[in-house]
Amino acid sequence: MKLLRFGESGYEKPGILDDNGDIRSLEGVVHDIAGDMLDVSSLEKIKALDLSTLPLAPKGTRIGPCIGSVGKFICIGLNYSDHAAESGMTLPDEPEVFTKATSAICGPDDNIIKPKNSTKMDWEVELALVIGKEASYVTEQEAPAYIAGYCVCNDVSERSFQLERGSQWDKGKGCDTFGPIGPWLVTSDEVGDPTNLDMWLEVNGKRYQNGSSRTMVFKPAFIVSYLSQFMSLQPGDVISTGTPPGVGLGQKPPVYLNAGDNIQLGIEKLGIQKQTVTALTNIM
């Protein structure tokens, strides 16, 4: 299933994509695409619906973040061998963990705001997973049962904030609009093997990232198990699992985002995002 949220920012409604690519409303079936409805029984209830009986969303409706009320937005850095090489960084012995502020979350096609004093704003197409039930001290073998599904994430990063303003990456990762997720949450049964998905990203029509989750070092099941040793993971938590090569920082010379730039990115089976960079001074 492809679950999504649509409508005005802050007032999104739950929805599902039908076989014709049309958005059907799940209002009255679930209150939101959020933590407490991501368990197996709730997903099975939705799966059993006759989608043709559900109302269609208005044409041209905005697509919101595919998950609402996210409690934790966790990211894994340097998790692709070829990306670590282009960044000139050594692969970590254990997952490199940081967080993005949940206030960074936005819709997949919303504008990305370039922050004040930003000089090195970068892109990262990433495979994100969403937790479906509470996970605490789970094994790697058990972990897949705790993953409700997967989605596209653009881990937008301000490299000068991230790498030149002290030792904490969070400052360059959590700015408003730096976490587009969606367009939809694709349930695990429909994704199949998450470690064999093509991934790409273009800026102004030029393809910079053209990779695959095959080069991921720490796989989704291991990541869930690993994180659950340090914190409980709650339904609706989002974990973004790293990026393949081709980020702006890795270009020679580096290439960074500016107001007016157009970004498109996608992951096989998970959909496409389209964003425009907007200067903060242009935001009403």
Encode the chain (284 residues) as per-residue pLDDT tens digits.
999 999 999 999 999 999 999 999 999 999 999 999 999 999 999 999 999 999 999 999 999 999 999 999 999 998 998 776 776 767 889 999 999 999 999 999 999 999 999 999 999 999 999 999 999 999 999 999 999 999 999 999 999 998 888 777 889 999 999 999 999 999 999 999 999 999 999 999 999 999 999 999 999 999 999 999 999 999 999 999 999 999 999 999 999 999 999 999 999 999 999 999 999 864 43
pLDDT at 169: 81
**H or E, element range at 75:** strand 73-77
Whole-number Å distance between alpha carbons of 241 and 192: 17
Residue 209 structure tokens: 């990232």
Yes or no: domain 69-282 corresponds to CATH 3.90.850.10: yes
pLDDT at 85: 72
Burial of 199 (0-12, 13-18, 19+ CB in 10 A): buried
CB 247 within 8 A of CB 208: yes
Taking the domains of the chain in order of start, what are their residue ranges? 69-282
In angstroms, the Cα distances linking 186 to 17, 26, 58, 124, 178 are 10, 16, 22, 20, 21
pTM above 0.75, yes or no: yes
Residue 198's SS3 state is strand
CB 184 within 8 A of CB 109: no
Name 150's bridge partners.
129, 186
| First-last CA distance in the chain | 36
**Among candidates 177, 181, 204, which has minimal Cα distance to 113?**
177
